[in-house]
Amino acid sequence: MQMNHSVLSPARTRITLFLLALIYVFSYIDRNLIAIVIEPIKLEFGVSDTVMGAVSGLAFAVLYSVFSFPLSRLADRGVNRRSIVAVCCGLWSLATMASGMVGQFWQFVIFRMTVAIGEAGGTSPSISMVSDLYPPHKRSFAISLYMLGPHIGLLAAMALGGWIAQEFGWRAVFILFGAPGIIIALLLYVFGRDPGMGVYDTEAEKQVRLQPQGKFFTDLRDIIKIKGFLYICMGTAIAGMVGYGYGIWAPTFMVRTFDMTLAHAGLSFGLASGVFAAAGSIFSGFYCDKLSQNDTRWQLRMPVIGVLLSIPFGCGFLFWPADAIWQLGSVKIPHAIIFAAGFSFFNSWWPTLAFAAVSKLVNSKQRATSIAMLALFLTLFGAGIGPLLTGTFSDLFSQTDAGEGLQYAILLMLIMLLLSALFYHKAITPYYKHMTNIATSDN
């Protein structure tokens, strides 16, 4: 067994993790701000739900997919991962600010795609770094802290974004949220540290890492051949497609169904979803680390359970009576928001645990590339197809009532979570065998 220790001090380790997580917060904010301002952008530029679904997802996903592999390849080749993340964060933050300064819709699309180029160099090198900051038995929890980014980002984007859009217009949302990312990128570059690759590698893994890196497609083929890997990718792809479709369109559904303002819908949905998703992410990472020490199959059993439990909560959010509300002074809060909170708690398990599972399946030389592969499935299917497919279904079902059409569009997406649970379940046995073989070779 390996007895390696990180060369970084505990304080520097925590600072680096904190800055990486903070960057991921703003990554998710910049990526998903469009969710709260779909309606005003549609009105200004005169485009359909299908077009907005494409811009909010597909335009982002295509370039993210193209650039994620070469940037992750740089990380696996030993280029300083801190520098990659810092430069990319600066780029997408500038592009986010520029999105609020456009005069034509095609310019808006270009800058949203530029955000994708920057974000392609964020997640994979970051998770690769986090995997080297902490040993395997603490890795799911460490990654769960990093994966708080989307949930805190959702809370900030929905709660503050809606208010800013209502008070100052949709352009101000992009400008005000883009600016902090530039500062945080500089903080990471100055105070963050790359711990080095394979800090906690076993002796067998060290020998693999010392071998020359092969050609890209050869290495990619070796990763894909790892049993269980593609099942995890497919489970993540479908869960991401549903999650992005739900997350992008849920605030608009609330505006249309509950007759809410952007600020009201954003605050209600952001608080319920962001807080409970963050709690679910921490819970799943911490509890999975404890369970997996005795049985590694829990690394994928928990995503199956979380996905299945989230479905009835999602349906409750969609179909609970719109006139069932709590009255807090002049503020109306729909009862359905409780179901949005439940959905977010359980549906937050799979991102943390899927990325942690992949980080444990591969050696340190393959880590950033394998995470990029998983992120490709998540982004291309999730961010790319999810919002587009939901918007298209909404247009098809909205011949008579826009709110009802979007309601059934999101329902159709939620049903797809059954397929995600099936793929994660099929990955359990091969994952367990692979992890057992790794443990056997280390003894």
Residue 391's H or E segment, with its range, is helix 386-397
Tell me, which fold does domain 10-197+215-442 have in CATH?
Growth Hormone; Chain: A; (1.20.1250)
Which pLDDT does position 87 carry in this prediction? 95
Per-residue pLDDT tens over the stretch 270-306: 788 888 988 999 999 999 989 988 899 999 999 999 9
Residues of the chain with pLDDT below 70 are: 1-7, 56-57, 158, 198, 200-214, 262, 329, 399-403, 441-443
Tally of residues, the chain: 443
Chain centroid to CA 429: 26
Which pLDDT does position 3 carry in this prediction? 44
Which pLDDT does position 360 carry in this prediction? 85
Residues 30 and 93 sit within 8 Å (Cβ to Cβ): yes
Phi, psi of 331 (to 5 degrees): -95, 130
The pTM of the full predicted model, rounded to 2 decimals, is 0.77
How far apart CA 385 and CA 57 sit, in angstroms, is: 6
* SS3 at position 53: helix
For the record, the structure tokens of 73 come out as 């390849």
Which pLDDT does position 32 carry in this prediction? 72
Domain ranges in the chain are 10-197+215-442
Residue 267, CB-side half-sphere exposure with 13 Å CA sphere: 14
Question: Could you tell me which of 310, 326, 35 has the C-alpha nearest to residue 161?
Answer: 35
* SS3 at position 326: strand
Residue type (1 letter), 373 = M
- The answer for 78, left when phi > 0, alpha when psi is -120 to 50, beta otherwise, is left
How far apart CA 344 and CA 270 sit, in angstroms, is: 10
Which pLDDT does position 1 carry in this prediction? 40
Which pLDDT does position 19 carry in this prediction? 95
